[in-house]
Chains A and B, each alone.
Chain A
Amino acid sequence: MAFLSYLFSGLSLGSVYAIIALGYSMVYGIAKMLNFAHGDVIMIGAYISYFVMASFGLPVYVAVIAAIAVCVILGVTIERFAYKPLRQAPSLAVLITAIGVSYFLQNGAQLLWSSSAKMYPSVFGNGQLHLFDGQLSISYLTIITILVCIFVMVCLSLFINRTKTGSAMRACSEDKGAATLMGINVNRIISITFAIGSGLAAIAAVLFCAQYPAVSPTLGSMPGIKAFTAAVFGGIGSIPGAFLGGLALGIIETLTKAYISTQLSDAIVFAVLIVVLLIKPTGLLGKKIREKV
């Protein structure tokens, strides 16, 4: 039973990683860049939702909506002013810029809200679901987190696979020139991608802070880097890959903490990444780039 309980907390942590990883993966799939500022968008989302709940005393759904709104605007603005001018630049320049944006956001947050951590309010209470005569307890938070992740994943898949805009996004990820010939405004599609990724970051922020309730300017870096790892692990650019990679990483991390060592858990997580990439360099579900003339 202890194992099942660890598995559920792993799934719950993994769900948060998966939602963040979706943002990395979608942006990579379409803009072909690694948005290292993604983790810091999460941090901003965490502060916004914190203020809405703690300072204004508003309910959690208002906090989520406010965080999504601010993060979407922030994400689109970052893309417009920091990345769009570099559309033709070498990818190294874009990467360095993304790291710059990341530091800018972290230090900005420190300036505005100081570096000391703020206590995130308890969002979903401490209620638990008891199963098997109380042998297995799962917190509501865990269940909500997993359900939200599944909901996000289903909505996103439907959007990408069934709508005209989704089809246009997939077209842009394959061939921007041909997409332009179809009349697709590639810049607009990239903006939409950043908007979706940043909105997801806001959702992840609330779920993450509900599990680890300390909000500080560097809050985004660790989940950010782990979710990036999850995206690579699952196959960067692939949406089901991000989902699978996130869940896998969360479970590995939690089980490692439970059975091997808390201190070594991150080392083991990254070691698994290295092994996966050695065996399958495109990640679990990554596409091989096939060229046919």
Chain B
Amino acid sequence: MLEVKDLVVKYGMIEAIKGISFHVNEGEIVTLIGANGAGKTTTLQTISGLLKPASGEVLLEGKSLTKINANKIVSLGLAQVPEGRRVFAQQTVLENLKLGAYSRNDKEEIEKDLENVFELFPRLKERESQLAGTLSGGEQQMLAMGRALMARPKIMLMDEPSMGLSPLLVKEIFRIIENINKQGTTVLLVEQNAKMALSIANRAYVIETGKITLEGTGAELAASEEVRKAYLGG
């Protein structure tokens, strides 16, 4: 469904991504794990068009995204839950969710998806008319995920959904990610919390200073000596 080919991304003179390739099949949860500064967020931002690659290509269902304006990509079926949630703090929960469906015009279907999001996140329903900035970190994460779902994406990119959350909430968030996936959305997950990410992923890639160094199924990588040492704390 999503294919990244020899992607190179530069910030000025510095190569942040040094030619990475990977793919995500339909229905999968795939995770990119790696340390801080390895290039995970850069990779996601390039896929969703916020950054332009120096070379290489991103294909969504065989269609190249590299030449398409960032704001057009979401209507092709790719939504991103950005790092740090980035909800619109000055707008209500409901307004945030409706902005998620900005590129759609099918009113009735949007209503259905709204119901679905409220079913997945009952907390958001309770806080519907509250300003997003007044939500707790966990609720904001739920809002960011719900907002992305409102685009009815075929594939959802999630950037560090567990960041800054309590262990209990992290479990909750990962359970919801699995649910979203079961409902038919393909997931590309970027995480520092390698243990949790590998436990729900079908396949995984390890990214180190802009290169992919390992790949395999979630279980394989969780069992691998290198990964255990570097990312799972022995």
Contacts and interface: CB of A to CB of B under 8 A. Distances in A.
A170 B98 CA distance: 13
Given A164-B98, A164-B102, A293-B84, A184 B90 contact: no
Nearest to B73: A183
B95 A182 contact: no
A185 B82 CA distance: 18
Interface residues of A, number: 21
A167 interface: yes
B181 interface: no
A181 interface: yes
B217 interface: no
Dominant SS among interface residues on chain A:
helix
Interface in B81-110: 82, 84, 86-91, 95, 98-100, 102-103
A183 B88 contact: no
Contacts of A290: 89, 133
B72 interface: yes
Interface string B27-53: 000000000000000000000111000
B90 A183 contact: no
A184 B84 contact: no
Nearest to B87: A178
Contacts of B74: 181-183
A179 B80 CA distance: 11
B151 A183 contact: yes
Nearest to B70: A180
B71 A167 contact: no
Interface string A175-198: 101111111111000000000000
Contact of A182 (B49, B84, B100): B100
A82 interface: no
Interface in A75-122: none
Contact of A186 (B49, B71, B99, B151): B71
A180 B102 contact: no
A218 to B, nearest CB: 38
B75 interface: yes
A180 B151 CA distance: 13
Given A181-B79, A183-B74, A293-B164, A170 B88 contact: yes
A171 B84 contact: no
B36 to A, nearest CB: 14
Interface in A257-293: 287, 290, 292-293
Interface in A172-225: 174-175, 177-186
A168 interface: yes
B89 A174 contact: yes
Given A170-B88, A174-B89, A175-B88, A180 B71 contact: yes
Nearest to B163: A293
Contacts of A180: 49-50, 70-71
Contacts of B211: none
A112 B164 CA distance: 62
Interface of A: 164, 167-168, 170-171, 174-175, 177-186, 287, 290, 292-293
Q: Which 4 A-B pairs have the closest CB atoms?
A: A183-B103, A178-B86, A183-B74, A182-B102
